[in-house]
Amino acid sequence: MFSFLRRTANVVGESSMKALKMEGIQGWQKELPMFKLNTPKDLQEWAIGCDKDIGGTNINNSSLFMLTCHALIFMIVANNLGTGFSEAKLEITPEGVGKFSGNLSLELPSNAEIEQSGYAAIRSKVRPSSMFGTPCWDTTLFRYLAMRVRGDDRRYFVNIQTDGVIQTDLYQHRLFLQNAGQWQTVMIPFRDFVLTNNGMIQEDQIDMMREKVKTVGISIADREEGPFEIEIDWIKAMNTESTEGDMDRNPHGADVPEVDFTK
C-alpha cells in the first residue's frame, strides 16, 4: 500500500513539474526517449520468454502460427502449458548494448496437441500503477517508433500493447533490417502497425491508442531452426524534420519529401 501511495505521489509531482515547465504546450519535438538497453539495470525493465517457457502452439497455419507466437509473450508468467526446446536470453554486451539471442528449435514436445514450435520474444514490463492508472507513453506528437539495432538476417517483429479495454490486442509490424550485421536506425510509422488479437489479424483495424502505449517488444518466429541474435541500443518515439506526429511540417520553406524508412 505504501509503495502504491508513493507512486501516486510521484505521478502528482511529475505532473506538477510538467505544468510549471508548460510542457503540455511546447512546440515541435524531435524525439521521446522510451527505453535504453545499456546496463543490467535497464534489462530489469524487460521480460523474456520462448516456447521452452510456454509450450508451443496448436495452430498449424504458418502465418497464424507466427502471429500467435508474437502474442504469447504476454502469457509467460501465467501459463505453464508444457515445454518446447528453443532457448533465449537478454544480456548486456561488452560494448554496453542489449543483446536478445538464442536458438530456435522446431522440435515438438511429447504432446499430441502441439503441432508447431519455435519462437522467442522480449517485452518491456508494465510499469507499476498508481491511483491514476498504469503509466503509459504518450506518442501522439510523434510519427515513428524508432530503434537503433544490429541484427542477423532472421525475421523479427515489433509488438506494441496499449492500455486499451481489450488487453489481448497487440499491434505488430515486421522489423525490416537493411544490412545484417550493421548498426541501423529503423523507423516504423505508428499508423502502419496492424491490430491483432490472440494472433489473429483483426478485420476491423482500430487506430492505435498512441497516447496509451503500455509495452513494446521484439519477437521471432520465422519457422527456421538455428541461432538468432539482435542487439538493441535504444527505442524512441521520433519525428523527422518534416513530420509532427501525423501532420507534415515544412521547416525550411520548401517541400520536403517524406522518407519511407520501412523499405
Cα 253 from chain centroid?
35
Instruction: Read off the pLDDT of residues 103-125 as tens digits, 9 standing for 90 and up.
Output: 998 887 776 455 667 888 999 99
Amino acid (one-letter) located at 98: G
For the domain that residue 156 is a member of, what is the CATH number?
A: 2.60.120.430
Q: What gap in Å lies between CA 222 and CA 137, rounded to an integer?
A: 29
* Residue 208 included in any domain: yes
pLDDT of the residue at 111: 61
Average pLDDT, the chain: 79
Which among 216, 232, 218 is positioned nearest to 175, based on CA atoms? Answer: 218
Amino acid (one-letter) located at 96: G
* Residue 186 included in any domain: yes
- Least confident among 72-81, 191-200, 254-263: 72-81
In angstroms, what is the C-alpha Rg of the chain? 19
* Averaged pLDDT for residues 171-176: 95
Instruction: Read off the pLDDT of residues 57-100 as tens digits, 9 standing for 90 and up.
Output: 444 444 444 444 444 544 443 344 445 688 899 999 999 999 99
Residue 53 structural domain: 29-248
Confidence of residue 18 (pLDDT cuts 50, 70, 90): very low
* Predicted confidence (pLDDT) at residue 16 exceeds the cutoff of 80: no
Confidence of residue 17 (pLDDT cuts 50, 70, 90): very low
Instruction: Read off the pLDDT of residues 19-50 as tens digits, 9 standing for 90 and up.
Output: 444 455 568 899 999 999 999 999 999 998 87
Number of domains in the chain: 1
Residue pair 139/152 in contact by the 8 Å Cβ criterion: no
* Residue 17 included in any domain: no
What global pTM score does this model have? Answer: 0.77
Please spell the DSSP secondary structure of 118-176, one letter per residue: --EEEEEPPPPPBTTB---B--TT-SEEEEEEEE-SS-EEEEEEES-S-TTEEEEEEE-
* Residue 16 included in any domain: no
* Residue 67 included in any domain: yes
* Residue 47 included in any domain: yes
pLDDT of the residue at 31: 97
* Residue 15 included in any domain: no
Residue pair 121/73 in contact by the 8 Å Cβ criterion: yes
pLDDT of the residue at 64: 42
* Residue 225 included in any domain: yes
